[in-house]
Structure 1
Amino acid sequence: MTRAVISAVVRPAATVGVLLLVYYRLPMDQPEDGYTVLRLVCALLLVLVVLWWQIRMIGRSAHPGWQGVQALALVVPLFLLVFAQACFVLARHQPGSFTVPLSRTDALYFVVTVFATVGFGDIAPVSAAARVLVTVQMIADLLVVGVALKVILAAVRRRSG
């Protein structure tokens, strides 16, 4: 295998691993205050900045297809972990927001099932705040799947062609 292929496989796997490590090690004991929603908005803006940066990287890459894979391996998990963190913090500060108490793993599992539109039903939002958060996630999921994926693929095609 070429160095580019190895890099395209190892870097995305390492990226996901590092993101998961940060998610599980990040202190999430911030107080519930007026800044809770602001922190979520800032984190989502960070995801947009990372997406923009990745699109620029695709435009400069000698291997845009592999760079596109790396972009998806960074943007999608980062996006999901932002919502997992938000669900975890909400469940911690407002017990009863979901049908069960959420650990970090439970929050990540829930966010991924919502993203994948599987919805097993074992965890569900109960409070108004949880339902608003999950509704925002569902709308953002559609944007990530539709818009972000399309933009990344367009950048790869433009650079490859």
Structure 2
Amino acid sequence: MERAGSAAGRLSRVVHALRALGSAVLVTALYYAAPLDWGVGVGTVAVLLGALAVFGWLLAWQLGSIARARYPWLRAVEALATAVPLFLVLFSASYFLLAHDVPGSFSEPLTRTASLYFTISVFVTVGFGDIVPTSEAARALTSVQMIVDLVLLAVLGKAVFGAVRMGLRRRSAGPGPGPKPGRGPAGLP
């Protein structure tokens, strides 16, 4: 019986890993396929704010899912593999639209890949300086991303790890099979 449980645990890890990878690939593919040709204006700002609100709702839903999961750590990785790419492509699309609607907003023209690269370098605070915002609108948008990045990192860190702890506590205290002492890190098989 132990062997079947171990095989089920390995299968579950593989399924979670594939779903995490699939989510990241799907979000990125949708970014490259999306028709980003409408320009920048009040509508673009409204879409970005609405998308960030949907992102917040998705994140809250994911946290509940982590807390209820059989393997909270695996579910947390899966949630992050969806949330982080989604967050990055929201700002990347905004930079792409701004760069094409207002040429000269950045130190060089931005392709979708260059926009994603710039977004990631701002997110991880690397800032190589090869692409820099040069217009007031681009600097404002980049500043908004930096502030939201800080909030997101703090919230993600605290909330995701809190949800994992809650899920592990629920799993070890609840009825039915829970983690067995001495098994992998954080109760994982």
Say yes or no: TM over 0.5: yes
1:87 aligns to 2:105 (yes or no): no
Report the residue type matching 1:139 in the other structure.
I
Return the index of the structure with the highest Cα Rg: 2
The within-5 A match list for 1:1-161 is: 2-161=10-169
Secondary structure of the residue aligned to 2:110 is coil
Alignment partner, residue 181 of structure 2: none
Give 1:58 shift. 1.0
Report the residue type matching 2:56 in the other structure.
L
Deviations 1:64-93, CA, capped at 9 Å, x for gaps: 111011111111111011000000000010
Identity %: 41
Distance 2:16 2:147 in 1: 30
Distance 2:153 2:67 in 1: 21
Give 1:147 shift. 1.1
In the alignment of these two chains, the number of paired residues is: 161
Q: TM-score, normalised by structure 1?
A: 0.96
Distance 2:53 2:24 in 1: 19
Q: TM-score, normalised by structure 2?
A: 0.83
Deviations 1:92-118, CA, capped at 9 Å, x for gaps: 100000000000000000000011111
Give 1:53 shift. 1.2
Distance 2:41 2:119 in 1: 23
Report the residue type matching 2:15 in the other structure.
S
Give 1:30 shift. 1.6
CA contact (8 A) 1:76 1:144 kept: no
Distance 1:32 1:136 in 2: 16
RMSD: 1.0
CA contact (8 A) 2:39 2:97 kept: no
> Per the alignment, do residues 88 and 31 of structure 1 end up closer, same or farther by CA in structure 2, a change over 3 Å counting?
closer
Unaligned segments of structure 1, at least 5 residues: none
Distance 1:46 1:95 in 2: 29
Give 1:33 shift. 3.0
Alignment partner, residue 178 of structure 2: none
Distance 1:134 1:14 in 2: 28
- 4+ residue stretches of structure 1 with deviation over 3 A? none
Deviations 1:119-142, CA, capped at 9 Å, x for gaps: 110000000000000000001111
Secondary structure of the residue aligned to 1:100 is coil
Distance 2:54 2:99 in 1: 23
Report the residue type matching 2:71 in the other structure.
H
